[in-house]
Chain A
Amino acid sequence: MTRPPTTQSDLGGSGYPGGPPPRRERGRWASRIPLRGTKVPVAGVDTPALGDEHGLAGEAKGQFRIVAGRYVHNRRAMGSLIVFLLLFLTSVLVGWFWKYGYAEITKSYARATFHIGPNGTLIAGKSLGAPSWDHPFGVDPIGHDVLAQVMQGTKTEIFTAVVVAVIATLIGTTIGALAGYYGGWAESLLMRFTDVILVVPLLVILIVLANRFTKTASGWLPIALVIALLAWTYLARLVRADFLSLRERDFVEAARGLGAPNRRIIVRHMLPNAIGPIIVNATLTVANAIILESTLSFLGLGIQPPDVSLGQLVAAGEGAATTQWWLFAFPAGFIVALVLCVNFIGDGLREAFDPHAKQERR
């Protein structure tokens, strides 16, 4: 006999019931392990877990709660989510309460760069509108407050990206689900169409479309639509693959055997089983959309003045990156922060939906 089965002595050695659970146990089971003041049954620790597994605790755990539980225990993903929400909240609050509007032209730049001396001569100022208490992110040569502009850009960026993600997810899921479920010529048609969209160089098409649509219309919605119309292809392939395997599962056959119509089988039976990859992909689409929108705006084809986007600000500040660094660094930094947060959120969601993915990567 090499190792006795789990007994009291085994437990006593690790000081298990008193101290914190071993690190490995964090996550799904953490909340179920009694921390203090609990008698450990002689039979072994898994007694409470066993009871719970059979639902005797009277608490049913749905997919959503399991996933949410795992996500909450992922420190990096939770941190990113909090930072992202803070960024969004700040951008909204700054838009409402900050003393300068994003389109407002202040006199601060003029005051900072020169002033009129006592005998009517111009005297050079100490700065070129660098960050100060009055303008934490500095001022641009026109006199715009950079904080107000960056925050407005952040807000635009988030709205654009979320709208892109929602529309692209709807299109991608619908096409992928129909192709995967029906197969045959419907699948060929839909997937060949997807392939065509996929092989077309995205940026070139975006530039052409953006040039047509966004020059004539204002605001962020047109550019969001343009990006969304091209960003659904990966999701369509993903959902199709998922539906192909789901279609062969017994419960789908059972639903058909029950007399359920196709639409109900797709929407109520198969879609909830494919929701993990769809949500993860939607999140990553948000990150992609931010980058794409910034790129287009940087090239001058995205959001047009007087609306502000981060890419546009980077383009405007790029020439002065070495002298007036605040014009470049703040918008660029915010793009990076947003994309990073969204990517970490996506990673966290993927790990929450599929815990095995994390273990394999280690």
Chain B
Amino acid sequence: MTEPVLEVDNLQVTFPTADGDVLAVRGVSFDLRPGEVLGIVGESGSGKSVTSLAVMGLLPRTAQLSGSVKFQGDALLGRSEKQMMPVRGRGIAMIFQDPMTSLNPVYKIGWQIIEAIQAHQDVDKGKAREIAIDLLTRVGIPNPTERIDSYPHEFSGGMRQRVVIAIAMANDPDIILADEPTTALDVTVQAQVLESLRSALEVTHASLLLITHDLGVVAGIADSVIVMYGGRVVERGQVDDVFYTPAMPYTSGLLASLPRLDSDGSERLRPIPGSPPAMVDLPPGCPFAPRCPLSTDICHEVEPALVAVGGGSVEDRTAHLAACHFAEDVFAGTVGPIFAATSEDLEDAGVEAG
């Protein structure tokens, strides 16, 4: 078995604020094998972006971190800026959410790609420019020899994100860390950008850590998936396992909330009622309990640990894990469709009955 290229073990991130400590990430563990595509899914504030920034060492200095992050066996947490530099870009390359702002507006894109190349490789400008043109070709920029001398404002959003992907590929990284790479884009160009991302993976043989709240993107590109809620991993497993047989009510709620193409259009969307918990002064128990239709007294008192469902073992990294007191029941489908109807639907039904 190959060694993991990235190991995150019991990562905790706390931001001290005037209102008290914000527990943004509370004990997240996962690992990433060479060539693997891991999706991290969760709604806003679930701690997924903070996790990725913690890996890169890009959190603000006020953040308090504990746990461990290992890149190819070497600890990353606690490294100084100087010690992080060789890892950033070369070891782990990052793709940011909004391509409108992640390119420097005053430089031609060629300058920016060449800068990335020369930051880690000892090549002259002419050679770097050749590499840059090659990279632009690979991410599907038409006419790259001319477009390399364009400024970012002369590109559309999807094209810019491809440029950002080209920059990420520039130093043949071991991991590409993409923080919501398609969120800021038009739906029509998302597929093209994902295609560029896929070809970036083929060229660099990098692992991909894909952070998103778009379940469709994860289903399309990822091997395994982590679902985060309230700063914790609440479900983990291979994409097919998690999507076909979710074992945590939150995941099944997420899946049920997706609009379906095969519906006749008369169905309402089914949101999960309520909103995610504030991360200050979390009450004991499962963070999802207040929104969970299955919650009982134990859910409000004891926070469930990640357990394997479907006969797997926690030790097995491909096993399907879920953090729920009723994980086996949800997994087996014995508790029925959890988010079959929204509270609104129920109200409507009640009105009709009355």
Contact = CB atoms under 8 A, between A and B. Distances in A.
Please tell me the size bucket of the interface on B: 35 or more
Interface string B89-122: 1100110111001111111100000011001100
Interface string A237-268: 00000000000011101111111111000001
A254 B106 contact: no
B150 interface: yes
B89 A259 contact: yes
Nearest to A256: B58
Contacts of A249: 101
A355 to B, nearest CB: 14
Contact of B104 (A62, A256, A257, A273): A273
Interface in B32-88: 56, 58, 61, 81-82, 84-88
Given A60-B150, A62-B151, A259 B120 contact: yes
Contact of B108 (A60, A255, A257, A259): A60
A226 B156 CA distance: 50
Interface string A57-71: 010111100000000
A258 B150 CA distance: 21
Given A61-B151, A250-B96, A260 B119 contact: yes
Contacts of A258: 88-89, 93, 115-116, 119, 167
Tell which of A54, A55, A257 has the most Cβ of chain B within 10 Å. Answer: A257
Contacts of A184: 61
B316 interface: no
Interface string B108-139: 10000001100110000000000000000000
Contact of A250 (B84, B88, B90, B101): B101
Nearest to A258: B89
A256 B88 contact: yes
A174 B87 CA distance: 29
A258 B84 CA distance: 10
Contact of B102 (A53, A61, A250, A272): A250
B149 A60 contact: yes
Contact of A259 (B102, B107, B119): B119
B147 interface: yes
Contacts of A76: none
Contacts of A261: 82, 85
B352 interface: no
Contacts of B151: 60-62
B154 A253 contact: no
Interface in B212-258: none
A269 B104 contact: yes
B315 interface: no
Contact of A273 (B81, B105, B115): B105
A243 B200 CA distance: 33
Tell which of A53, A258, A275 has the most Cβ of chain B within 10 Å. Answer: A258
Interface in B134-167: 146-147, 149-151, 154-156, 164, 167
Contacts of A275: 106
Contacts of A60: 108, 149-151, 154
A62 B154 CA distance: 11
Task: Classify the interface of chain A: helix, strand, loop or mixed.
Answer: helix
Contacts of B56: 257
Interface residues of A, number: 27
Contacts of A254: 94, 96, 102-103, 164, 167
Contacts of B61: 184
A269 B111 CA distance: 11
A251 B146 CA distance: 23
Given A58-B146, A250-B101, A251-B101, A273 B106 contact: yes
B96 A259 contact: no
Nearest to B143: A56
Tell which of A251, A259, A275 has the most Cβ of chain B within 10 Å. Answer: A259
Contacts of B108: 60, 62
A259 B87 contact: yes
Contact of B58 (A54, A55, A257): A257
The 6 tightest CB contacts between A and B, nearest first, are A259-B89, A259-B88, A250-B102, A55-B154, A257-B94, A250-B101
Interface of A: 53-55, 58, 60-63, 184, 249-251, 253-262, 268-269, 272-273, 275
23 contacts: A53-B154, A54-B156, A55-B146, A60-B149, A61-B151, A62-B108, A184-B61, A250-B97, A250-B98, A251-B105, A253-B102, A254-B103, A256-B88, A257-B58, A257-B93, A258-B93, A258-B115, A258-B116, A259-B85, A259-B119, A260-B85, A268-B115, A272-B107
Given A250-B96, A257-B58, 20 more contacts: A55-B155, A58-B146, A60-B149, A60-B150, A61-B151, A63-B106, A249-B101, A250-B97, A250-B102, A254-B103, A254-B167, A256-B88, A257-B94, A257-B96, A258-B89, A259-B86, A260-B115, A260-B119, A262-B81, A275-B106
